[in-house]
Structure 1
Amino acid sequence: MVRSRCPVFADTPPLRCEGTVIHAGRTTATAEARITGTADRKLYAHATTTCAVFALPEAA
């Protein structure tokens, strides 16, 4: 889910996106990301996700 807090325009100062794994388990993983201004640390957007983890099949 992405929550946009502030609009971003061509003249918006530089932004930083940082992602963090909150939990990485055997069957599920959760993570979040934040987009902030590099100078003022203003929050522009925040996102979270929950993913299913599957084992890859063995290569032949």
Structure 2
Amino acid sequence: MSKRINITLPDSVLDDLESWAEFQGRPTANLAAFLIEMSIKEAKDKGIFPDKTDSNDNVLKK
């Protein structure tokens, strides 16, 4: 199931995101969702993402 969130970005980051999305011919929100998904996957692959069974889920492992 998909869920919707709201984020606030600095103007310069939003400008870059919009330019990148336009270059790829996709909606800005779609690119943002993809980038977040890929960042989480990368963090999991590197072992810097909290384990769901970790008792301290709010702290990322370093």
Q: TM-score, normalised by structure 2?
A: 0.23
Q: Which has the higher strand share?
A: 1
Structure exhibiting the larger radius of gyration computed from Cα positions: 1
RCO comparison, higher one (Cα < 8 Å, 6+): 1
Q: TM-score, normalised by structure 1?
A: 0.23
